[in-house]
Chain A
């Protein structure tokens, strides 16, 4: 598979993937500040211990665990299906894609087949979630730049329409708990599909308005271009996935690479970045939102009739045979994977969530060293993390 423009640097130097060492150029001591855990612009309870030389960052160490709710330990006692509502609360901006990743992992473990209509429904709600996530993420990033609240209001306006759809389909605005092993929980009615088509038809206008307000904005361009550069080879070595990886020019989208579910049937492009900075990440998210509109239109046109649950699926007494499986999807934030070890009992022996946000944070230090404190906030916003996933 060709990854355009990327050459792996087989650099044998000791520590080529370690953060660079910055020399303070002033005199006197470094000022050590703890940004967080209660901070207006950290997306949740997250702390960064920064050592500053004037305004420049010399050292940065992230500290998390403030939202560690031991999801993995609970899953060992609550059964396979019992973990499904808990996966909603992992990345709480996109609950449906979390459900999907977990259902995919269990289906890999047991070899269950998912009927066609269920796959289409999964793609539709998954791409709607992607739109919600990317719009909100851009809104939060711009809010941290000082535009206090207005872009976020536009994003949440679109989000409320999509949440109405989710509520009608699944019963809940946010914690949907919609996927099951072998399909989806309930079927969508024709009215719901008609309402979704109407909402999706209005989404390109929302994206146009959003883009027109932000794209050529001088403040945005001055503050985000050239900031937070992430080299491609470091991005790959550090396990970065999602829009951050594609903004560094690497063509790796799990929907294309793995071809899970029915993504092979849809035509969509994968935008890549050229300058590897915060502005690229912001634009990638806008462009991916537009590609999602295309996938949604195709899926809504082609959705067949049929059952939404595998008829052979066992809901009660679900005991998969011993073995293990690792299933992953392209969540809006990156690669969300679930690793399950089954010992034949009703509870998983080991249940592991591979969080995209935690692994994407590995390179936060590299990107922030040498820049100003105000840029740290923007770089951190462009990584787009959510603490429920980092800490689980």
Chain B
């Protein structure tokens, strides 16, 4: 039985707090996301600037940047992912414990960015791991990163606990570890993970 907002406010004035388990669970999760200290390139400097005094990320609950992937919830891929680094990124993602989220920060992490014509540049980290939020920009301003963070918080808030669309850590069949690419003679093998990334069809 759903309680409408007017009734909630009235009850709140009387000192009675009505909510659902889902709301409470997600509220706790979204306000204590611990990012992993993972800066690759120039976007990392803007990420550090976001945690500094002017654009304070601590007020969102994300102050504690953990160096170890085992203790982190969020991986902010900030910077160009090269083919030499890609296996390590996927390995780190596999080592993170569920629930885990990925923000692709900057043009390079989304699709290779300005360095797209690169024999060593991976054209987007979403070829191998699933990405939750993409932030365009080169580098995106700290305010953009905060906006992405709030978008992620909204996404977590809207995840139901049962049924379709529940988060991966409550779903026994969901895949949470992805195969690590191997560095071959001319390129990474495989060039992309077909289960995670399908080639977008361009309609002109």
* Co-complex (A, B): yes
Interface residues of A (CB under 8 A from B): 37-40, 44-45, 65-71, 73-74, 77, 85-86, 89, 92-93, 152-153, 156-157, 159-160, 173-175, 387-388
15 cross-chain CB contacts under 8 A: A37-B88, A40-B37, A44-B40, A67-B40, A67-B79, A67-B80, A68-B82, A69-B120, A70-B118, A70-B120, A71-B115, A77-B117, A156-B49, A160-B52, A174-B45
Count the A-B residue pairs with Cβ separation under 8 angstroms: how many? 88
Instruction: Give the interface size bracket for B toward A.
Output: 20 to 34
Q: Looking across the interface, which residue of chain A has its beta carbon closest to that of B53?
A: A153
Q: Is there an interface contact between A92 and B115, defined as CB atoms closer than 8 Å?
A: no
B40 to chain A, nearest CB (A): 6
A37 to B37, CA, bound (A): 12
Whether B119 is near chain A, meaning CB under 8 Å from some CB there, is yes
| Cβ contact within 8 Å between B84 and A152 | no
User: CB distance A153 to B88 under 8 Å?
Assistant: no
* A186 → chain B closest CB, angstroms: 20
- Listed in ascending order, the chain B residues whose CB lies under 8 Å from chain A are 37-42, 44-46, 48-49, 52-54, 67, 79-80, 82, 84-85, 88, 92, 114-115, 117-121, 138-139, 141
Q: Closest B residue to A86 by CB, please name it.
A: B114
In the complex where A67-B82, A74-B115 touch, is A92 in contact with B42 (Cβ < 8 A)?
yes
When chains A and B are docked, how far (Å) is the Cα of A347 from the Cα of B48?
36
Consensus secondary structure, chain A interface: loop
Secondary structure dominating the interface of B: loop
Task: Identify the closest chain A residue to B39 (Cβ).
Answer: A44
- Could you say which residues of chain B place their CB within 8 Å of the CB of A86? 114
Q: Within the assembled complex, what's the spacing in Å between the Cα atoms of A198 and B88?
A: 46
Contacts of B48 in A (CB 8 A): 152, 156
Check B41 against A388 for contact (C-beta < 8 Å). Answer: yes
Contact A73 B92 (CB under 8 A): no
A68-B84, A174-B139, A175-B138 in contact; A74/B118 too (CB < 8 A)?
A: yes
Check if B114 sits within 8 Å of A89, measured CB to CB.
yes
Give the CA-CA distance A39 to B38 in the complex, in Å.
Answer: 8
